[in-house]
A and B are shown apart, each in its own frame.
Chain A
Amino acid sequence: MSIVVENLSKRFGTFQAVSDVSFEVPTGQLVALLGPSGSGKSTILRIIAGLEDPDTGRVSLTGEDATSVPVQRRGVGFVFQHYALFRHMTVRQNVAFGLEVRKKPKAEIEEKVERLLKLVQLHGYADRYPSQLSGGQRQRVALARSLAPEPKVLLLDEPFGALDARVRDELRAWLRRLHDEVHVTSLFVTHDQQEAFEVSDQVVVLNHGKVEQYGPPQQLYERPVSPFVAQFLGQVNVLPMKALWNPQAIDLKHIQEAFGSDVLNTEEAVYVRPHDLDIHREPNTRPCWRGRIERLTPLGGIVRIDLSINSDERLQIDLPRDQQLALSLVQGDDVFVSPRSFTPIGPPKQIPGDAAGTFYTI
């Protein structure tokens, strides 16, 4: 394990920024700390770097306790959201800084700066000042600068947050490739779930200073352990079980096993992703909700359909465009909607197997 965080807590005045956070980052992986603003993700990153002191808890880097090691001797690379390049130094001087501080021989510094600038594809920009570079270029310089002293771990604080959408996409893909090349254990902070999914091997989801869930992106998406995770990772519909209408009593046995036989009459609710719903004009043997189409929004290859069920519950479906055309759906139509799979929210009476997120396929 390259980064081990144990029972970390930090309070700012009356605000509990981090409370009892523990997780581990395996060597060589790229892990995302994902959460909304105020969830404590940047604070955790800064504590790992030594830029903040935790109130309680421990930080270990490559197997050694680093909790009381000052930031200068932790051997971490840190990339800031707003680049934090030294503005009065050229690109070359910026990248060389960490090596000069360590009093490396001149020839070695020069050789290494050249190599790093090639790595971040800024070879021709060595003598420019940061102000003469675009945002994406600046962040690449910052990355080269943080890698120069060969850090044990690389920490990135919303590294693409200040960039516009197109550059951000490019840089994400580029960071992923770079990581596959350099293999330095990396932890990066983001509030953008798409970014976390695209770039990272694993994701730590944070909320109110606590770890909600930790795992590979797809697992979080398919098996969220809490309503928060389900809702934070993409669009989700929250639907009442009792509204499920099923004329021909199909097999609901596995649902009833988990929730009890009265599940369909309780206030239990379920999550359904907008792309996990089928729409049809006549009821069939599958459990379904009755709904009315309120709005159709074409979004290129798919159509987003807003429905109302029981007149006050809202439901969103992402349907491939050709299916919408085949069913010739228009606003105001009454339709039937069946979930292909869903996640129960409420405290289930008992869940077979592990207590982690449960995912039911119908």
Chain B
Amino acid sequence: MASVETTRSGGDTGLPDLVLRGMTLGYLGWMVVLPIIALGFQSLVAGPQAFLDAVLDPQAVHALKLTVVTALVMVVINVVMGTATAWVLVRYEFPGKKVMNALIDLPFAVPTVVTGLMLVLLYGPSSVLGTILGTYGFSVIYSQPGIVLALLFVSYPFVIRSVQPVLLELDRAEEEAAATMGASGWLTFWRVTLPTLAPAIFTGAALSFGRALGEFGSVILVAGNQPMKTKTTPLYVFGEIESGNKQGAMAVSLVLLALSLGVLISLNLYQRRWSLEDGK
């Protein structure tokens, strides 16, 4: 995300200004920073050994791995399909385009538990599709592909909505210039268009990944919450709290939080580097 700059330079020292500034800063601290500190403090207060033990618990490790792997699989699919969808929406005119464009944001409006339920109804063992898939040995619901499906649904708009505006504003002259120099359509896409879209694609990918790390509602329904098989980290954390293992829940939560922050920070760094290159 681009950082927001202040529009007024120089310090105003009037009382209302100070109060307003103090108030918003305090609000940020109270709402965002304080809970994070609470988690960090509480999960580490029992000492590094207890923290490590909790994080290295085989079930916790499996949950973290599963979360990251399913999220990455989702991101790869999302990047390819999201970019293609944005491309189709921007570069082609066809009947139903407006409807398609409107439908893309639908996943944001669907409560995640409802998402999970819809997927269970569609792919579940008792459904038509589930039965057909089952006879070929594929199980979707209560297994890992189900998790990826749920993540794909909830993060569907991210890449599309990041790439679409950039593609819309893209100067076609760059592609035309490449064509006059003899570059084929495919080569032009790889060497000219894609590098220009890369920052937007990366943004969409990072946002989907961050969203996937914490996805709970849809996953718990489609995954079935089986330890060492389909239990992702958020489900693991929830389970540990339910069963009274507060230390386990806190430690793994901290790792999850660090992962999310890591994605956010790397996104920021990447964008800064790119904007230096682009001179914006």
Contacts and interface: CB of A to CB of B under 8 A. Distances in A.
Interface of A: 49-51, 71-74, 76-78, 80, 82, 84-88, 97-98, 101-102, 129, 131-132, 142, 145-146, 148-149
A177 B143 CA distance: 72
A148 B173 CA distance: 18
Contacts of B178: 86, 97, 101
Interface in B241-270: none
Contact of B176 (A78, A102, A149): A78
Contacts of B196: 87-88
Contacts, number: 76
B192 A86 contact: yes
B183 interface: yes
A71 B280 contact: no
A101 B181 contact: yes
B12 interface: no
Contacts of B187: 101
Contact of A146 (B180, B184, B277): B180
B182 interface: yes
Contacts of A146: 177, 180-181
Given A72-B182, A84-B171, A86-B192, A132 B279 contact: yes
Contact of A131 (B173, B195, B278): B278
17 contacts: A49-B180, A51-B180, A71-B179, A71-B180, A72-B180, A74-B180, A84-B173, A84-B177, A86-B174, A87-B278, A88-B198, A97-B183, A101-B183, A129-B278, A131-B279, A131-B280, A145-B181
B177 A149 contact: no
Contacts of B179: 51, 71-72
Nearest to B175: A84
A98 B174 CA distance: 13
Nearest to A88: B195
Contacts of A145: 177, 181
B13 to A, nearest CB: 38
A51 B181 CA distance: 12
A77 B180 contact: yes
B270 to A, nearest CB: 13
A80 B277 CA distance: 22
Interface residues of B, number: 22
A92 to B, nearest CB: 15
A88 B277 contact: yes
A150 to B, nearest CB: 11
Interface string B136-164: 00000000000000000000000000000
Nearest to A98: B181
Interface in B184-219: 184, 187, 191-192, 195-196, 198
A243 to B, nearest CB: 51
A280 B79 CA distance: 79
B173 A102 contact: no
Nearest to B274: A88
A149 B280 contact: no
Given A80-B177, A82-B171, A88-B195, A129 B279 contact: yes
A148 B278 CA distance: 24
Given A72-B182, A84-B174, A88-B278, 11 more contacts: A72-B184, A74-B180, A80-B176, A84-B176, A87-B174, A97-B183, A98-B181, A129-B278, A129-B279, A145-B177, A146-B177
A131 B277 contact: yes
Contacts of A98: 181-182
A146 B176 CA distance: 12
A98 to B, nearest CB: 3
B148 to A, nearest CB: 32
A98 B277 CA distance: 22
